[in-house]
Amino acid sequence: MTNTLENIDRKIKAPAKESLLTPRFYTTNFEEIALMDISKSLPELKAILKEFLHDYNRNHFIRDKEFDQNWNNLDEKTKNLFIEFLERSCTAEFSGFLLYKELSRRLKNQNSILANCFEMMSRDEARHAGFLNKAMADFNLSLDLGFLTKSRKYTFFSPKFIFYATFLSEKIGYWRYITIYRHLEKYPEYRIYPIFKFFESWCQDENRHGDFFAILLYSQPKMLNTFQSKLWCKFFLLSVFLTMYLNDLQRSDFYRSLGIDARQFDIQVIRKTNESAARVFPVSLNLNNDKFFKYFDNCARYNKKMIEIEKKSNNKIYKNIQKIPFILLLMIDFIKLFFLKSIDTKFTLNVIKSI
């Protein structure tokens, strides 16, 4: 009876408006992945599949008593910011689920080991998305994931780009979750909702997913060893980091409610992910160059201006015209970032080895 009443009260949340910075849904060339020669990394793939099958978090995502309360103590602004955080996280997790599920389905007959790994990863992402959607239900909202599947536009990325982007987003996910967890462990007074205490084991799923993509990339030397691959890796590092930076800085009020400075948080996550990427990619970014975060801050300023324009008027054409100079400025700073000298990780790895 209670459940029935709850279901009646719950509103289906309309998906947030799509923009360049919202979590995206991806599709790829499944046939190309199915036919990939993965023999170079077969032992490592078998080992990680064993890890996936172990299913360390099988009993982790179970809501405990701490969830059984109402959240009216949160002021309206914090509540709305938190709901937006849940929605964005749920969409991102669900996007991972859809991609991995489709990969496991399409690869089943041609490449069973990859298909099994993707199946296990889609299991994890479904759990993550479901857990976040249940959290939204605590605020009488839920995302219609079926509708989202059909209504969202899918971006096509070639397998190589899917591997770069998902490797980075899994590692970023790991560093974001663990950094928030460690902070709230230190300052429990900012833990406004119990979901954060699940992040410690949760982030290990993301770490394993990232490791899987690292192994997959190792199995395809062409994706890491050529001059073009070096440029693409640099491009993806910059794009993924900058997207997160712009997203988080425009939501600094949310992070403040957790006692976190959004800019410092992002710098920490970027540093850590850049280090993780350096073990796989042929390049990493030189974050110690003073210009690096100066350009990032410029981009955040232009993005803020564009958000202000978006809020001001209802005339779409007028708004787009007003945004043009800021889009151009942002592009110029992105190009400047791209031409900053990066670090050749092969050289660094050799130095480390020789020490």
Task: Closer to Fe ion by CB, 78 or 166: give it.
Answer: 166
Half-sphere exposure of 85 (CA within 13 A, CB side): 23
Whole-number minimum distance, CB 189 to Fe ion, in Å?
A: 27
DSSP strands (E only) in 111-225: 141-143, 154-156
Task: Closer to Fe ion by CB, 87 or 206: give it.
Answer: 206
Whole-number minimum distance, CB 203 to Fe ion, in Å?
A: 9
d(CA 310, CA 304): 10
Q: How far apart are the first and last CA of the chain?
A: 67
Whole-number minimum distance, CB 304 to Fe ion, in Å?
A: 29
Angle, vertex CA 178, rays to CA 19 and CA 217, nearest 5:
70
Cα-based distances in Å from 303 to 208, 328, 350: 33, 11, 39
d(CA 287, CA 273): 11
Give the three-class secondary structure for 12: strand
Whole-number minimum distance, CB 206 to Fe ion, in Å?
A: 4
DSSP, residue by residue, 108-127 = TTT-HHHHHHHHHHHHHHHH
Whole-number minimum distance, CB 48 to Fe ion, in Å?
A: 13
Which residues would be at the binding site for Fe ion (CB under 5 A)? 93, 125, 128, 170, 206, 209
Whole-number minimum distance, CB 169 to Fe ion, in Å?
A: 8
d(CA 255, CA 304): 17
Task: Closer to Fe ion by CB, 206 or 266: give it.
Answer: 206
d(CA 18, CA 281): 30
Task: Closer to Fe ion by CB, 191 or 209: give it.
Answer: 209
Task: Closer to Fe ion by CB, 128 or 176: give it.
Answer: 128
Task: Closer to Fe ion by CB, 93 or 333: give it.
Answer: 93
Whole-number minimum distance, CB 52 to Fe ion, in Å?
A: 11
Task: Closer to Fe ion by CB, 125 or 333: give it.
Answer: 125
Residue with the two structure tokens 């001001």 = 312
Burial of 79 (0-12, 13-18, 19+ CB in 10 A): middle
